[in-house]
Amino acid sequence: MAAGVVWVALKGHPLGVTRHHCSVGGPMGMLRAVCPHGPPWYPRVRYGTPWVPIPSPHRSLRFHPRSAPSHSAGAMVVLRAGLCPGLTEEMIQLLRANNIRTVVDFVSSDLEDVAQSCSLSYKLGPAAGCGAVHWGGDGAGRSTGQRKDTGVPQHCGQRVPRPQAARLLPRLHRGVHCLPTLPDAPGPGGGQGGAGLAIMMQLARELKTLAKEFSVAVVVTNQVTRDSSTGALKSALGRSWSFVPSTRVLLQGRAVPWEDGAAPHTACLAKSPRQPTGMQVQLDIGSDAVQEQRPVTPTP
Amino acid sequence: MVESYSSDLLARLEGRSSLKNLEPNLFAEEGSPVHGDVIEFHGPEGTGKTEMLYHLVARCIIPKSGGGLEVEVMFIDTDYHFDMLRLVTILEHRLEQSTEEMMKRCLGRLFLVNCNSSTQLLLTLYSLENMFCTHPSLCLLILDSISAFYWIDRSNGGESLNSQEMNLKKCANFLEKLVREHHLVLFATTQSIMQKSTNSAEGFFPLKLQSEIDADYRPYLCKSWQQMVTHRIFFSKQFNSGNSTGFTLVSCHLKKKHVAKRSFSIAECGVQF
């Protein structure tokens, strides 16, 4: 018996997300009207949610969330000459003499103290801070705005390295984006850093970014296991993964595969951000395609 | 100058006191949060933490004429969890007249930010400081979730626990400063990603409370965060009688050691006690 757990159901399906992609009328259309359009480098959220208008007094940081550095690069973004107008080599040396090396050091320092001890013009200091944060790259010098032509789309069956995920999207059709069974990610392992889990969580973050930024539904398959204490079914890959999907559909197959008329395949909604759980439909997996039968009453 | 300062101060005091009836069921004895409170929602997935946040957001942004508090909310989303359509559905059910105009006004009181790494969270918090200065009625800060970067930070920090926790520690310190200086109330969610320690004599709660708290709780975030939390609320699902929408929360006031247990369900209109 093959039982699997699928993450995020299909557009138009009763178990699925439907309103998410509408662009005209309805709640989304109305919401879009609420939002004034500000400069692209103000922190903001898409899909018509209220924009965050940040006024620009001396400490304001203007950066676009997507152009901010990646997790590993961020902590390491070192101030360097030319990062913004006014940030000269001389200034860099002065800042370093006061233990300010990275962007994070700069923004978490007291600007008045910095201005005094570095003899910076106070006006220049904040401008340098603002400019330094408004980097156009991902900390490694690449512009995240570029979309390179990658040739054959690599979405199916391959682990996508981190910076390339965003580059694949223009080649994919909007709608559903499928990944086969998730790679086995080792658990925290012998004490040192949980690298396997970190990779898995980074993958999760990439998938979510893809889904959100490019309006695609991302479907992932996963196995199920039984909880050792309660005996209940739960999805594999552990606790940390369990928080990642927003929707979960449990697929169950025939109990006795060689007998006709045995329990058919069912799909049950186990988790949803918008609908009550427990809804079930019967599936008929024939030679052509999966056909949906009428819904069954949910078993408690 | 003096006039604008005092009117700003009054506006802030007004905003502060207006969190009084936010959600009495979440607070063990005192019934309402006090400015400076840091409330942590902890629990496994699917136990209603984010739904409870939508409930609080709705309570805040609905105007007083509709039974709400009419204050502004800042929502920081760290794992692309926030579902605007769900919030709108909840608002539609709770408002008597859910006209477009009314919705716009409600949503105008919500500020929403996404963060993708702990560094970005830190820089975002710095940049948001001015929001709190310029919006005196912005008195609720929500962070869903603060534990989202845990494994990634651990992996990036190498061998040193100090560098693994550095970013979150800075975030926690700055959050404390924001909450204190701007008289905010902070709600943050943490995910139960660790199994309960087998050594139950860890001294988190006195034995009397231990039996009440059936929680699979093991703290894993940095000390700076642990020390600033004033209330911890544990969420769990009820497994009795096949009621798939039943949930339980146990609310603990960490200093006074008060505990309260409540049941709730989640309907189309959101959390219901």
* pLDDT over 70, % of chain B: 84
**Reported confidence tier of residue A30, pLDDT bands at 50, 70, 90:** very low
Closest to A181 measured CA to CA, from A225, A239, A223: A223
> Span A269-277, mean pLDDT?
84
Closest to A27 measured CA to CA, from A223, A290, A281, A274: A274
Q: Which helix (H) or strand (E) holds B42?
A: strand B38-43
Kind of pairing, strands A4-7 and A280-285?
unpaired
Q: Does A263 score more than 90 pLDDT?
A: no
Question: What local confidence, expressed as pLDDT, does residue A121 receive?
Answer: 52
Cβ contacts of B73 on chain A, cutoff 8 Å: none
Question: What local confidence, expressed as pLDDT, does residue B12 receive?
Answer: 60
Cβ contacts of A54 on chain B, cutoff 8 Å: 127-128, 130-131
Question: What local confidence, expressed as pLDDT, does residue A36 receive?
Answer: 38
Environment class of A39 (CB within 10 Å of its CB; exposed 0-12, middle 13-18, buried 19+): exposed
Over the range A186-220, which residues count as b (16 or more CB within 10 Å of their CB) and which as e?
eebeeeebbebbbbbbbbbbbbbbbbbbeebbbbb
Cα–Cα dist A16/A9, whole Å:
5
Distance from CA of B258 to the nearest CA of A (A): 29
Question: CA nearest B243 in A: which residue?
Answer: A300
Closest to A95 measured CA to CA, from A111, A82, A84, A73: A111
Which of A103, A240, A247, A299 to substitute to test the interface with B, most B CBs within 10 Å? A240
Inter-chain residue contact B84 with A212, CB threshold 8 Å:
no
* pLDDT over 70, % of chain A: 38
The better pLDDT of the pair A290, A180 is held by A290
Inter-chain residue contact B88 with A31, CB threshold 8 Å:
yes
> Span B143-148, mean pLDDT?
93
> Span A20-27, mean pLDDT?
30
Q: Does B178 score more than 80 pLDDT?
A: yes
Question: What local confidence, expressed as pLDDT, does residue A275 receive?
Answer: 82
Cα–Cα dist A261/A254, whole Å:
9
**Reported confidence tier of residue A258, pLDDT bands at 50, 70, 90:** low
Cα–Cα dist B14/A269, whole Å:
45
**Reported confidence tier of residue A217, pLDDT bands at 50, 70, 90:** confident
The better pLDDT of the pair A282, B16 is held by A282
**DSSP per-residue letters across A211-247:** HHHHT-EEEEEEEEEE-TTT--EEESSHHHHHTS-S-
Cα–Cα dist B91/B101, whole Å:
13
**Reported confidence tier of residue A242, pLDDT bands at 50, 70, 90:** confident
**Cβ contacts of A286 within 8 Å, gap of 6 or more:** none
Mean residue pLDDT across chain B: 85
Mean residue pLDDT across chain A: 57
Cβ contacts of A74 on chain B, cutoff 8 Å: 117, 119-120
Which of B82, B87, B88, B116 to substitute to test the interface with A, most A CBs within 10 Å? B116
Name which of B108, B114, B116 is nearest A50 (Cβ-Cβ).
B108
Question: CA nearest B43 in A: which residue?
Answer: A243
Which of B47, B81, B85, B271 to substitute to test the interface with A, most A CBs within 10 Å? B85
**Reported confidence tier of residue B211, pLDDT bands at 50, 70, 90:** low
Inter-chain residue contact B126 with A274, CB threshold 8 Å:
no
Distance from CA of B89 to the nearest CA of A (A): 9
Cα–Cα dist B106/A33, whole Å:
14
DSSP designation for B250: E
Question: CA nearest A55 in B: which residue?
Answer: B130
Q: Does A6 score more than 50 pLDDT?
A: no
Residue B150: HSE in the Cβ half-sphere, 13 Å Cα cutoff: 20
Question: What local confidence, expressed as pLDDT, does residue B226 receive?
Answer: 93
Inter-chain residue contact A55 with B118, CB threshold 8 Å:
no
Question: What local confidence, expressed as pLDDT, does residue A220 receive?
Answer: 86
Angle among Cα A186, A192, A196 to the nearest 5 degrees reads 25
> Span B44-55, mean pLDDT?
92
Q: Which helix (H) or strand (E) holds B187?
A: strand B185-191
Cα–Cα dist A26/A23, whole Å:
8
Please check whether residue B264 is in contact with residue B251, taking contact to mean a CB–CB distance below 8 angstroms: no
Please check whether residue B196 is in contact with residue B117, taking contact to mean a CB–CB distance below 8 angstroms: no
Q: Does A156 score more than 80 pLDDT?
A: no
> Span B146-171, mean pLDDT?
90
Question: What local confidence, expressed as pLDDT, does residue A241 receive?
Answer: 87
Environment class of A57 (CB within 10 Å of its CB; exposed 0-12, middle 13-18, buried 19+): exposed
**Reported confidence tier of residue B32, pLDDT bands at 50, 70, 90:** confident
Cβ contacts of B151 on chain A, cutoff 8 Å: 194, 197-198, 200-201, 240
Inter-chain residue contact A61 with B126, CB threshold 8 Å:
yes
Secondary structure of A187-200 as H, E, C letters? CCCCCCCCHHHHHH
Q: What is the ipTM of this complex?
A: 0.79
Name which of A47, A57, A209 is nearest B130 (Cβ-Cβ).
A57
Q: Whole-model pTM above 0.80?
A: no
Q: What are B106-136's pLDDT values in tens digits?
A: 999 999 999 999 999 999 999 998 888 888 8
For CA atoms B236, B242, B243, B244, give the dihedral sign: positive
